[in-house]
Structure formats: C-alpha cells, structure tokens
Amino acid sequence: MEQARTSRIVEAGEGLLEVTVEADGISCMALLTSLGMSRASASATLARGLVSRSVSRDVSAGTLGGTRAGEALGPSDVVSSGHAIRIRLEPSHGPGPCAKEAAEVLWEDPFALAANKPAGILVHPDGATDPTHTLAAQVQAHLAREGSCAVAQAVQRLDVPTTGIVLFSKTEQFQPAFDALVAGHAMGKHYLAIVRGALPAGTRLRFDGPIGRDRHDARRMRVSPTGKQALTVARVLGSSGQTSLVLVGLATGRRHQIRVHLAHAGHPIVGDELYGGIARDGSAGSSQGPSRAGSGGIAASGLMLHAWHEAFDHPVTGERVELWAPWPERFGLLGYPESRHSSAARDILAAGM
C-alpha cells in the first residue's frame, strides 16, 4: 500500500491521528492522500489548520517549511523521513438524529465501525420516514453514549428487511477511503440465505445474468440482457424440507442482486415478498404472513437474508479486518441452527467459495 511507503501510524484515537513520515521530500498534500484522504478532504483539512508538526514525537531537528513544531502546516510544506505529523480529525457538521436504542456494534476503531442491522429499519434517513428509526440513528446513539463527537456516515447499504453487517465511517476526512473500498469491491462480503428448494449440500451455484430495472414495477429489479453485469456465487450448506441454506458471495453490487439472481434461478429467498419468497410450509406467494416452523409451532417471518461475514484491508491503517455478525436466531427457528452449519460455512470461506 502507498501508505506503507510514506508514513507509519504511531497513534490513532478519538479525533487524533499521528504519523511518522518514512519518505523524503513529499508534500503535506501527498502525505494526506497517501493515508486515504481524497484531495478535497486533504485540502479542507489543511485549510482548517488541522495538520501540524508534533511537538513530542518529532525525531528530526530544525524548522519545517518555515513552521515550528506545533504550528499548522500548509499544502506545499514538504515533510521528510523522521518528521512526526499530527492530524486532528474534527467533524465538519453536527451529529444526526439519535435513536433511543443504541446499535449493536461489532467492531470499531477511530476511523470506522461496523454495526449489526436488525430487520425492518432503513440504514439511513430517506426523508419520508422517522429519521430516528434508522440504523444510522442507532449508531449515533452508540457514539453519544461513548462520549464520542464523531459523526457516523454509512458507506454500505442493506435493504430494509435484510439483517447483518453495515460499515460506517466516523471521520469526514477518511470517508472517501472507505467509499472507494466499497465501490471498488475490494472486500469480501458473504451472506446467509434460506431459499426455496431442497438442494444437495456442497452444491456450487453461479449466477451471472445482467441485472436491470423492471419496467413494469419500479420497486423491482430483474435479470435483463440490457442490464448491468452482475456475478453471484453460492454454496449450499444444507437443506430442511423444501428449503435450503446457502452461503452467498458477491463479485458485484447491484441493487437487490442476491434476491434477483436466486429468484431468477427458481430459488427465491424465503420471506421475500417482492421476488416470490415462500413460507416455511412450502406455499408460494408474494404476501405471506408469519409461518410456523418446527413441532413447537414457533412463529417465523421476514426475509431470510443476513449479511454474516466481511473482510477487508483497512484503507488507513493497512490492517486486515475480519467481521462476523451473530448467527440470526430466525434461521435457527427454521431448522438451520448455528451449531449445525457455522463451522461448515467458515471452512468454505477459508478454502474459497
């Protein structure tokens, strides 16, 4: 990574990043962009006087571009090996709405966090619903509870009925680095889904039909020759009755991609009212209510799609990050408990889909 050739992070905390420069003769602008900032973010950070030479950590002597330790640096100031640079990470705007309930946070560092999204809420406000009834508001409640002044911005999306991992940026300066990570598909993200049809365990599935909008229903997408390229891969973990549990990976990120590809192949996700999901008893339809699963008559409903695993190289620190969401309870109620399927799914991920 470029960052490894130009600097080394020595401290990262709430609102503060300190790095030791490990390259000679680079501008402060180049240093900030090598850390993952966009040029616009780097320019704004420098213009606001948020970059300075560290008083306590600098191992070099003399002045730097006419400035002394502790004074703000400008875009054209040149830094060299041994210089210690302090970057203050200040939010440019106030926090958004807070929910009463804080999000379940799966992982967090000074730059980002991952939250476990429950079913039935938006990731971020859409202007038409209560802004506090969103995952973003729950994440902001978590940050407020922790005494953090960070403003979280979602860099991933999940449909309202889908559950699981959603990544948030905590700093304006480094959000473009996380946006680029997601947009470039430079991460592995895997879902669990319960689908219609009894499929043999271990079966590999591959779907590459292009995906475009359904001209007859604005809510839906469909496989279409004029759509955008899309690739979904899956492995069957097991079956129960007329349904199967599959582990799904995405090579592209089209809207409703997993739901569209599985439905087009004749294996719609259980509980998917938009794409023809079914109830646990095997009855088809687009408006299924809660179904009954198991001899205990336990009610189960909703879309059986869960963002379970995510792995990526951190765009700022370079560290490998691997995230796991809890196994969804509703999957266990439909005959797919974690104790029976989690190990097999992890083995598949370790070996490659």
What are residue 73's DSSP bridge partners? Answer: none
Structure tokens at 350: 């370790």
What are residue 342's DSSP bridge partners? Answer: none
Beta strand residue intervals within the chain, DSSP E = 7-13, 16-21, 26-27, 51-53, 78-79, 84-88, 104-108, 112-117, 153-154, 163-169, 187-196, 204-207, 211-213, 221-223, 232-240, 243-250, 291-293, 298-300, 305-313, 320-324
Instruction: Please list, in sequence order, all residues whose beta carbon lies within 8 angstroms of the beta carbon of residue 107, skipping any fewer than 6 positions away.
Output: 113, 114, 321, 323
Q: Look at the block and give the residue holding tokens 């000679």.
A: 24
Report the first-to-last Cα separation within the chain, whole angstroms: 26
* Catalytic residue of the set 58, 77, 109, 159: 159
To the nearest 10°, report the CA torsion of 60, 62, 68, 72: -50
Query: Which among 82, 53, 48 has a CA at the least distance from the CA of 65?
Result: 53
Task: Determine the length of the chain.
Answer: 353
Asked if 58 is an active-site residue, the reply is no
Q: Look at the block and give the residue holding tokens 């974690």.
A: 338
Instruction: Please list, in sequence order, all residues whose beta carbon lies within 8 angstroms of the beta carbon of residue 167, skipping any fewer than 6 positions away.
Output: 112, 113, 114, 154, 155, 156, 178, 182, 310
Q: What is residue 90's three-state secondary structure?
A: coil
Instruction: Please list, in sequence order, all residues whose beta carbon lies within 8 angstroms of the beta carbon of residue 212, skipping any fewer than 6 positions away.
Output: 221, 222, 224, 226, 227, 228
**What distance in Å separates the CA atoms of residue 141 and residue 132, rounded to the nearest whole number?**
10
Please list the active-site residues: 159
